[in-house]
Amino acid sequence: MSYTYVGTELDLFAAAVQWKSYVRKQVAAHLGRRVLEVGAGHGGTTRILCDGSADRWLCLEPDAALTDRLHAAIRDGELPDCCEARIGTLDDLDDGDRFDTILYMDVLEHIADDRGELAMAADRLRPGGHVVVLSPAHQWLFTPFDAAIGHHRRYSRRSLRAAGPDGLHLTRLAYLDSAGMLASLGNRLVLRSASPNSAQIAFWDRFLVRVSSFTDRLLAHRIGKSILGIWTKPA
């Protein structure tokens, strides 16, 4: 079955390099030698997370046009040589494919059966491997922008924990971007717009993310506009 991604924000958020770098610091310790990035889009996040040291970094993307952009980025050297792109979902992988890390970076909220998806991901993990999920937080922040880009939900600590796969240990569950959340509470106009503009994204990325890198630690990651979950398979 063909799939076309309905969101239009990938290019807009590709410029959020401070945010992506901040996220990388949160997940770097869990990036193994063999990585599967589910819903890799056009590689905007891959460019920050993948430093070329992995043995294999598989970018899995169900949208044909986005997969073509991934192939082009790899061919043109915009992504490291360890990267490869494949169209499809977990069901389309080879039976023997196993990974040290499986990433869902702003992806799980697009999947209707999130618990079923993570259960399949757990079966693809090597012993000691990690499933890493980054998603938008708090259903009460769900806006027309979420709906426009195909989100089924936003997550709380409770709902993301409930979606986690059986048999894996929940290693970390934390909110990120406390400054971004507080700003969104004070300016719901940004969240209610059909899409934030480049100036709004630039202000958030250049200033608010830097504030969050401090306040998130100060608040012990109890507040944030995004949520990070990491599960580990027993060795």
- pLDDT tens for 134-167 read 999 999 888 888 888 899 999 999 999 999 999 9
Yes or no: say if 210 and 25 are a contact pair by the CB < 8 Å rule. Answer: no
pLDDT, position 191: 47
Residue with tokens 């169900």: 62
Q: What is the DSSP string of 65-82?
A: HHHHHHHHHHHTTSS-TT
- Delimit the domains of the chain by residue range: 10-232
Q: Which whole-number Å values give the CA distances from 122 to 97, 99, 216, in the listed order?
A: 12, 10, 29
| Residue pLDDT tens, the chain, 235 long | 567 776 667 887 888 999 999 999 999 999 999 999 999 999 999 999 999 999 999 999 999 999 999 999 999 999 999 999 999 999 999 999 999 999 999 999 999 999 999 999 999 999 999 999 999 999 988 888 888 889 999 999 999 999 999 999 999 999 999 999 887 776 554 445 556 778 888 999 999 999 999 999 999 999 999 999 999 999 9
Which class is domain 10-232?
alpha beta
Q: Rounded to an integer, what distance in angstroms lies between the CA atom of residue 19 and that of residue 31?
A: 18
The overall average pLDDT reported for the chain is 92
30 DSSP 8-state letter: G
Q: Indicate the burial class of 164 (C-beta count within 10 angstroms; 0-12, 13-18, 19 or more).
A: buried
Provide the pLDDT for residue 184.
73
**The model's pTM:** 0.94
- What's the first-to-final CA gap in the chain, in angstroms? 36
Residue 175 CA neighbour count, 13 Å, CB half: 25
